[in-house]
Structure 1
Amino acid sequence: MLYNIDTMYNDIQGKLVCDLGCGCGVLSVGTAMLDASLIVGIDIDDDALMIARRNIEEFELENVQLIKANISDTEFFGGKIFDTVIMNPPFGTKDKGIDMIFLHRALKLASTSVYSLHKSSTRQHIKKKAAEWGAEMTVLAELRFNLENTYKFHKHKSVDIAVDFMKFDCSSTTI
């Protein structure tokens, strides 16, 4: 995924990249290894950020910074300060609409492109909202995720979910 973002769209190497909802930092580490000039990983979860910090230290990466923040904090997030935003946001199954909050924030932060993973079942809704916000959405790949039961609210041992890998062109966003 990251390799394609870099080689097909030139949106990583030498770029200022935000990993929104970075979790344990997998996308941040991969982006750093593809020579982004700086990656800023943002998450609200202290435990996830601690793991991300360890991962960054293990690979001896100096071009990754981590910030604890809530994406809803409008004072912290202002303007198109990143070239590219990458994210694997919550799908909005438990917290309805959280995926769209992430996307809206990402489109406000990116000057060039946003790359994101979303449930395929939400494709038309996301395309419509992106168009309303002045962004053009393209599905780059259709994937399958097998999500294991990891949280108390999960009802099944595992669930197979159809997921779209999407690119949003931010050059004409109106938000």
Structure 2
Amino acid sequence: MVRNKKELEIILEKTPKFKSPSKKLEQYICDSSIASELLWNAYIYGDIKDRIIADFGCGTGILSYGALILGAKEVLCIDIDYNALSIAKKFLGNIPINFPIHYICCDIRKISLRSIDTVIMNPPFGVYIRGIDMKFLEQAFEMSPLSVYSIHKYNPKSHKLITK
């Protein structure tokens, strides 16, 4: 078991990176420091351990990996990019953790899931597809109204949705 955020950060550095990130999908490397900050906050508030976690826009799996390390009961890795999901599946399939991991290749705007305890995500910021960041937030709050953790750019609309 991980004892502190710094230890988690060091472990997350092992997560594979995108070989050729898609600019259109706004794929970029999620720094292990930022990922560990988000995950550690969720863990401290009791939203990771023994919970069903959905990782929206999972990319290569850094947030999913952290959730598993911190004791998630089950993780759903969801991404529109089959190649990114394949990297995550190959990586996460090799870690010695005996909890279910599901891989779902789909557009987050077109999925409906039930029984999700916590959503973690590093969504696109909406630079290329305007409003996609808000769609991620709306879906997250629809599927897990009480427990959403996001690396999100600030704008008044997202702030209004989050504080609603």
Q: Same fold (TM over 0.5)?
A: yes
1:41 alignment partner, SS class: strand
1:13 alignment partner, SS class: coil
Q: CA deviation at 1:96?
A: 0.8
State the partner residue of 2:55: 19
Larger Rg: 1
Contact 1:84 1:114 in 2 (8 A): yes
Runs of 4+ in 1 over 6 A off after TM superposition: none
Contact 1:82 1:111 in 2 (8 A): no
> 1-side partners of 2:128 and 2:85: how far apart?
22
Letter in 1 for 2:112: F
Letter in 2 for 1:95: I
Q: CA deviation at 1:129?
A: 2.9
State the partner residue of 1:77: 112
Give CA deviations for 1:94-126 in whole Å, capped at 9, x if unaligned.
111100000000111114310001113x1x221
Q: Mark the runs of 5 or more structure 2 residues left unpaired by the alignment.
A: 1-36
1:106 alignment partner, SS class: helix
Give the alignment's TM-score, normalised by structure 2: 0.71
CA RMSD of aligned residues (A): 1.5
Q: Mark the runs of 5 or more structure 1 residues left unpaired by the alignment.
A: 136-175
Give CA deviations for 1:120-147 in whole Å, capped at 9, x if unaligned.
3x1x22122334xxx4xxxxxxxxxxxx
Larger relative contact order (CA 8 Å, sep ≥ 6): 2
Which structure: greater helix fraction? Answer: 2
Letter in 1 for 2:119: V
Q: CA deviation at 1:78?
A: 4.3
Alignment: residue pair count = 126
Give the alignment's TM-score, normalised by structure 1: 0.67
